[in-house]
Amino acid sequence: MSDMTFEKMISQMTPSIYTSLKQAVALRKWPDGKLLTSEQTRLCLEAVMRYEVENRVPEEDRVGYLQQRTCGAGADGSGVSPEMAGLGRDATGGR
């Protein structure tokens, strides 16, 4: 039996393996086209996130990063154009 632990695997992961795992998680399939199981997805995602932290990958390059956007609106919604205010209504079919 191998003495490879999850931590050891992360510490030995190459940038190429990291990129491959990140793509597999994003597409939910391996490079050969086989679908990832939910357990494989979970483990790959954990490995990718651990790699990113341990290798100080810039935040904007990390999996799941969402760029913070502001539209200049105040807490009460002031400063939002009527067009922007109607976006939520339009997305729900006009209700």
Summarize pLDDT for 83-92 with one digit per residue, the tens: 666 655 545 5
What residues form DSSP beta bridges with 35?
A: 29
**Full residue range of the structural domain in which residue 10 is found:** 6-61
What are 1's two structure tokens?
Answer: 């039996």
Q: Read off the pLDDT of residues 8-22 as tens digits, 9 standing for 90 and up.
A: 988 899 999 999 999
Give, in order, the Cα–Cα distances in Å from 71 to each of 64, 66, 75, 76, 91.
Answer: 22, 15, 11, 13, 18
Residue 22 domain flag: yes
Specify the pLDDT at position 64: 77
* Number of structural domains in the chain: 1
Q: Read off the pLDDT of residues 43-74 as tens digits, 9 standing for 90 and up.
A: 999 999 999 998 998 888 888 777 766 555 55
Residue 49 domain flag: yes
Residue 52 domain flag: yes
Specify the pLDDT at position 42: 94
Specify the pLDDT at position 61: 83
Residue 53 domain flag: yes
Residue 47 domain flag: yes
Amino acid, single-letter form, for residue 83: E
